[in-house]
Amino acid sequence: MSSAGEGLSRPLPEQVRVNVVDLAAQVLGSVPAASIPPPLRGIAKFDPRKRAKLGSAPIAAQLENDKKFRELVAESVAAGWPELVTALADGNVPPAADPVLVAAAAYLTRPPGWAEMIEAARTDLEQSAVAAEGSEREEVVARLREQLATQKTAAKEDADRLREQIKLARAENSDLRRKLHDARERAKSAMRRAEEMERAAEEARVAASAAGSAGESELRRLRERLADAERQLEASRRAAREGRSIEEARIRVLLDALQDASAGLRRELALPATISRPADSVAASTGERPGVRGVPARALADDDPQLLDQLLALPQVHLIIDGYNVTKTGYGTLTLADQRNRLMAGLGGLVAQTRVEVTVVFDGAELNSPVQVVAPRGVRVLFSAPGEIADDLIRRLVRAEPPGRAIAVVSSDREVAESVRRMGARPVPSGLLLRRLGRA
């Protein structure tokens, strides 16, 4: 350690002072409370970062005036940087060492010549600062030169662009002048044509005035001829109405006679006011074959797209539908309930358009409980009874119809199609009905 009389002529460099205070603040946290100088006991309770920030001045003063506290911090520095402290004690300053660390260690451990070491570090720091400032100044100059070059380039580009705009404006101005000249010439020509047309119009007015008297006399003759034609037309219409009235009276007498005869026959046979359909009584059918006639539908093939439209156009046709055969063909991925609901929705629109009788048959042999089906108006829904399949119920419905009624059975089941064909009904593939419902 140096003698007590040795000291610094100037204050510590700011970087060195900050480093020394940081080292002392860290040491305060590990020093026993009894060894902490009284002025620093309050600061020792702070966080290490707050100690260096809030207690900078008291710590620096204590290091300068309290030798014991400074030596306590020096011991911590010697333990942390033994090679540096040993070299400084021998009077050697490592050439690659940080000047700030060298000055801080010299200030705390006070080896021989420590003040000169601090001054040498101060000189190195000042030179480094000057060099950094010079380098920064060069960088600023370089940036300014680069900015100046960029601005010159931009100014040159702006000038070139302005010259090009001026050139375009001059060309446009010349074009506008030429167009103005052409417009003036066209206006003069239009004025000349207008004058010529006015003269022609005046001549036409004179000619029209001269021909006015002849035209009026001709108009009077035409009006008289038109009145004669209207009188003849009215006479013809009156004669036609009288002839049509006689024919309408004859037709009305015949219709009244037919209506009276129908009412008398209904009373004589005691027929009910409400007509029930044969399919409504299918459960009581004896199974006897009535010999239903076939439905020709103009001899169309079963897969002809026009087949179903022609069948629906027949009077009093009964459309019997194999329900699950149709739904599984068109939308088999849905649940059975959703299949039934979708089919009912489509058939409701079909019945509203065509007014045909529709019966839908579902297989109910495997049902554990009744199925609730919301059938639209005009659609009859039947489930086969236990022990009976839907195909048999369809055949019973066909047998229940009277001879001569048009019956169409919608099913892609070949066995069902062949059997109903033998019974006189016309089979229709399920795809045709699905196509018709999709079109509706």
Element containing residue 231 per DSSP (H, E): helix 114-269
Distance, in Å, from the CA atom of 435 to the CA atom of 308, rounded to the nearest integer, reads: 10
CA–CA gap between residue 381 and residue 378 (Å, rounded): 10
Instruction: Please give the pLDDT value at position 293.
Output: 43
Find out whether 402 and 278 touch, Cβ atoms under 8 Å: yes
CA-CA distance, 185 to 193, in Å (whole number)? 13
Q: Per-residue confidence of the chain (440 residues) as pLDDT tens digits?
A: 443 335 676 788 887 888 888 877 777 777 777 777 877 777 777 777 777 677 778 877 877 777 777 877 887 787 778 877 777 777 777 777 788 777 777 777 788 878 777 777 788 787 777 777 767 777 777 888 888 888 888 888 999 999 999 999 999 999 999 999 999 999 998 999 989 998 888 888 888 787 777 778 788 888 888 888 888 888 777 777 766 666 666 676 566 666 666 666 766 666 655 456 667 666 533 333 333 344 554 556 777 778 888 999 898 899 999 999 999 999 999 999 999 999 999 999 999 999 999 999 998 865 666 677 888 999 999 999 888 899 999 999 999 998 888 999 999 999 999 999 999 999 999 999 999 998 76
Output the pLDDT for position 288. Answer: 36
**Number of neighbours of residue 401 by Cβ within 10 angstroms:** 21
- Tokens 């035209």 appear where? 215
Which two tokens mark 371? 């199925």
Kindly report the backbone phi and psi dihedral angles of residue 380, in degrees, each rounded to the nearest multiple of 5, phi listed first. Answer: -100, 130
Alpha-carbon distance of 117 to 4, in angstroms, equals 17
Distance CA 204, CA 198 (A): 10
Q: Which structural domains are found in the chain, ordered by start?
A: 14-112 (no CATH), 292-439 (3.40.50)
pLDDT the model gives residue 16: 82
